[in-house]
Amino acid sequence: MSQGPFISFITPVFNEELNIANFLQNLYSVLNSHPHWNWELIIVEDGSSDNTRNVMLEEVKKYPKIQLILHDKNQGYTRSLKDGIACARGKYLMYIGADEEFDSSELPHFVDVLLTGQADVLLGVRWQRNAYQLFRFFLSVIYIFLLNYLFKIRVNDYNWSQAWSKDLLDRIELRSRSLFVLPEIIIKAHDLGLRVKEIPSNHRGRQAGKSSVNMRIMGHALLEAVTFWRYRRSKEYRPALESPARRPEAAFSN
C-alpha cells in the first residue's frame, strides 16, 4: 500500500497570468509521462494583482492531482514557499518557479537522483545565465560569492530549482522571511552533515512578464544573510530543532 507521494512539487505563483497556462501544460507533459514518480503538485497563488488567479482556476480544471493554496492578499514568495512545504506529503519536496525560466523537461534528471538516494539536498546550477541582463548577472555572482565567503561553503547556485528531503525540512526551523530562505536550507543541511549534490540546469530566461525581484528584495536577503551569519557564530545556534514536531515562526535573532 502506498505511504504517500514520493515527491511533492511546490510552485509559488504571483502575477504570472502570461505564463501559468504554458507552465502547467509543459509540467504535466513531463509528469504524466512518469506516473512511477508517485507525485503531487502544490500551487500557492499569492494574491496576484493581475488576472493570474482567474486564468489559473480555469487551467487547473484540465489537470489532476493539484492542491491549491490561495492567499487572499499578497504575502510574499517566502510565505508561499513555507505554506507549500507545510502541506507537502512527499518523501522529497522540489521547488519549481512558475515563470517558465526552468525547463520542466529537465525534471527526470533531478528525480532520478532522488530515486536512487544519492542526495538529501539537490541543487540545480545555472552555469550559463545568458538570459540575464548584465547588471542582474553581476548581482547574482556577487551574491553567491558573499554567501560562500560568509558561510565557508562552496555552492554554485543558491536560488534555482531545488529538492530537499522531507526529513531535513522536519528537522530544521526556517527562520528567513526573504529570498534567503533557500540558502538557509542549504547551509543548515551542510551543518547537519547531509549530502548536498549539484547538477547542471539550463536557464532559458523568463518567457513572459516581468520579474518581481528588485534591489529592495535583494537587499533584504543580504541583510538576513548577515544576521544569520552572526547567529550561526553564536553559542545559541543549533541547525536542527530539539523537537522536530515544533516548527515555530520567528525572525532571525542575534
Question: Which pLDDT score is estimated for 247?
Answer: 42
Question: Which pLDDT score is estimated for 140?
Answer: 77
Low-confidence stretches of the chain (pLDDT beneath 70) = 1-2, 129-137, 207, 209, 211-215, 242-254
Question: Which pLDDT score is estimated for 251?
Answer: 36
Question: Which pLDDT score is estimated for 137?
Answer: 66
Q: Report residue 40 as a C-alpha cell.
A: 503531487
Concatenated DSSP letters of the chain: ---S-SEEEEEEESS-TTTHHHHHHHHHHHHTT-GGG-EEEEEEEE--SSSHHHHHHHHGGGSSSEEEEEESS---HHHHHHHHHHH--SSEEEE--SSS-B-GGGHHHHHHHHHTT--SEEEEE-S--TTS-HHHHHHHHHHHHHHHHHHT---S-SSS-EEEEHHHHHHS-----STTHHHHHHHHHHHTT--EEEEE--B---SSS-----HHHHHHHHHHHHHHHHHHTSTT--SS-SSTT---------
Question: Which pLDDT score is estimated for 242?
Answer: 62
Residues 6+ away with beta carbon under 8 Å from 142: none
pTM for the full model?
A: 0.89
pLDDT single digits (tens) 200-245: 998 877 767 676 666 677 789 999 999 999 999 999 999 998 655 4
Q: What are the chain's domains?
A: 7-232 (3.90.550.10)
